[in-house]
């Protein structure tokens, strides 16, 4: 970014949860989740005080907010944007990011995105990759998306790049383990699968030579996949967007392994007008009320302290 060419003010916070970053945890030292404590309290607990300072010093007088995330431990997200598409400014911001997958979801209570929307400020959450790993593709896509939004808003010069299509999704389908054991995922985030495809196997060490095959319940796109190898019966292992139309359009943008090539992941994308972008609606609902409700918290985190283990088990949106 060239400061001489910026029209306005850009605030960049590399790590908003510094204590969590240093301790390799999403939680503050007092065991609370910063992204469930906004707008915070000036005289509250430690996490609430930090949330209060962030809200009043960085957020309250902003025009737009882009919140960059990865998935929590035990899973990995394909690059995606989440926004309340009933909020006009947030919808515009979501589309400006330039990604194929936009999840229409209302943010949970206490999240940064929720308090921002309550101020009538445009806000989106970008999700890509997973915890405790560096996903270069997700980082590259995030950088491309942020620059796209800045160009669309005329904050920096240049023309934004756009995807060939957008999936505007308000619902999904879950794939769960049929038994316990060692999980071997045969597909990953961004994979396009057909109904009936074998997408994972589960082997029980106590039953050598036997395994369970998990088939995709629908034709669709994996937006998130489990990465932890230990599962029990009922554990969610895949999150799938159902694709019932424009299948060929999506397949034409997949690689030889049927994995979607995300806009911005392979260098400079092809230029196209907004009118050339096909929008595909995926209607439905989010099980549990929001995108990530079905995921379990702290899979395979043997070092999790007792405070974290006492946190509610159902993972909410925006990891």
Three-state SS sequence of 177-213:
CCCCEEEEECCCCCEEECCCCEEEEEECCCCCCCEEE
- Residue 112 and residue 192 share a domain: no
Q: How big is the chain by its Cα radius of gyration, in Å?
A: 20
- Residue 191 and residue 123 share a domain: no
Residue 67 lies in a domain: yes
- Residue 59 and residue 155 share a domain: yes
- Residue 190 and residue 61 share a domain: no
Residue 83 lies in a domain: yes
- Residue 239 and residue 269 share a domain: no
Name the token pair of 130: 């997973």
Q: Which phi-psi region, left, alpha or beta, contains residue 290 (left: φ > 0; alpha: ψ -120 to 50)?
A: beta
Q: Which residues make Cβ contacts (< 8 Å) with residue 292, sequence separation at least 6?
A: 224, 315, 316, 317, 318, 319
Residue 314 lies in a domain: no
From 201, 224, 251, the end of a domain falls on: 251
246 is in which domain, residue-wise?
Answer: 175-251
- Residue 120 and residue 18 share a domain: yes
Q: How far apart are CA 166 and CA 74, in angstroms?
A: 27
Q: How far apart are CA 317 and CA 83, in angstroms?
A: 11
Q: What is the reported pLDDT for 257? A: 97
Q: What is the reported pLDDT for 216? A: 98
Residue 316 lies in a domain: no
Low-confidence ranges of the chain (pLDDT < 70): 288, 296-319
* Residue 183 belongs to domain with CATH number: 2.40.50.100
- Residue 146 and residue 75 share a domain: yes
Name the token pair of 316: 């909410």
- Residue 106 and residue 63 share a domain: yes
- Residue 226 and residue 151 share a domain: no
33-39 contacts at long range (C-beta below 8 A, 24 or more positions apart): 33/311, 35/110, 35/111, 35/112, 35/318, 36/108, 36/109, 36/110, 36/111, 36/316, 37/110, 38/110, 38/111, 38/112, 38/114, 38/115, 39/115
pLDDT in tens, 272-319: 999 999 999 999 988 767 888 887 544 444 344 444 444 433 344 566
Residue 293 lies in a domain: yes
HSE, side-chain direction, 13 A CA sphere, residue 167 = 31
Residue 70 lies in a domain: yes
- Distances 251 to 31, 129, 194, 198, 276 between C-alpha atoms, Å: 44, 22, 11, 18, 17
From 230, 251, 272, the end of a domain falls on: 251
- Residue 181 and residue 164 share a domain: no
From 216, 232, 251, the end of a domain falls on: 251
* Residue 13 belongs to domain with CATH number: 3.40.630.10
Residue 318 lies in a domain: no
Q: How far apart are CA 97 and CA 120, in angstroms?
A: 19
Residue 82 lies in a domain: yes
For the CA atoms of 213, 214, 220, 221, the dihedral, rounded to the nearest 10 degrees, stands at -100
- Residue 146 and residue 273 share a domain: yes
Q: What is the reported pLDDT for 207? A: 86
Percent of the chain past pLDDT 70, that is, above it, reads 92
Q: What is the reported pLDDT for 315? A: 40
Q: Which residues make Cβ contacts (< 8 Å) with residue 18, sequence separation at least 6?
A: none
Q: How far apart are CA 27 and CA 227, in angstroms?
A: 21
- Residue 203 and residue 80 share a domain: no
Domain count for the chain: 2
Q: How many residues does the chain have?
A: 319
């Amino acid at each position: 970014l060239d400061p001489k060419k910026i029209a306005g003010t850009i605030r960049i916070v590399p790590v908003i949860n510094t204590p969590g970053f240093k301790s390799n945890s999403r939680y503050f030292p007092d065991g609370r989740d910063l992204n469930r404590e906004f707008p915070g309290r000036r005289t509250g607990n430690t996490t609430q005080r930090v949330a209060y300072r962030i809200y009043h010093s960085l957020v309250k007088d902003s025009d737009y907010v882009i919140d960059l995330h990865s998935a929590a431990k035990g899973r990995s997200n394909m690059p995606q944007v989440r926004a309340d598409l009933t909020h006009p400014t947030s919808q515009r911001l979501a589309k400006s990011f330039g990604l194929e997958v936009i999840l229409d979801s209302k943010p949970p209570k206490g999240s940064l995105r929720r308090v921002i929307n309550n101020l009538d400020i445009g806000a989106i959450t970008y999700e890509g990759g997973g915890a405790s790993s560096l996903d270069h593709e997700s980082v590259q896509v995030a950088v491309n998306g942020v620059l796209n939004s800045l160009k669309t808003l005329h904050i920096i010069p240049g023309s934004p790049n756009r995807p060939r299509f957008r999936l505007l999704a308000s619902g999904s389908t879950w794939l769960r383990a049929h038994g316990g054991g060692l999980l071997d995922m045969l597909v990953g985030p961004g994979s396009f699968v057909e109904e009936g495809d074998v997408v994972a196997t589960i082997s029980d060490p106590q039953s050598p030579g036997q395994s369970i095959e998990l088939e995709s319940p629908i034709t669709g796109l994996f937006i998130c996949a489990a990465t932890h190898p230990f599962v029990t019966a009922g554990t969610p292992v895949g999150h799938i967007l159902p694709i019932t139309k424009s299948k060929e359009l999506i397949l034409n943008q997949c690689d030889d392994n049927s994995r979607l090539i995300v806009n911005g992941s392979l260098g400079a994308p092809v230029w196209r007008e907004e009118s050339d972008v096909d929008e595909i609606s995926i209607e439905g609902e989010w099980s549990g009320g929001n995108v990530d409700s079905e995921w379990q918290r702290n899979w395979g985190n043997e070092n999790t302290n007792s405070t974290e283990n006492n946190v509610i088990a159902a993972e909410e949106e925006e990891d």
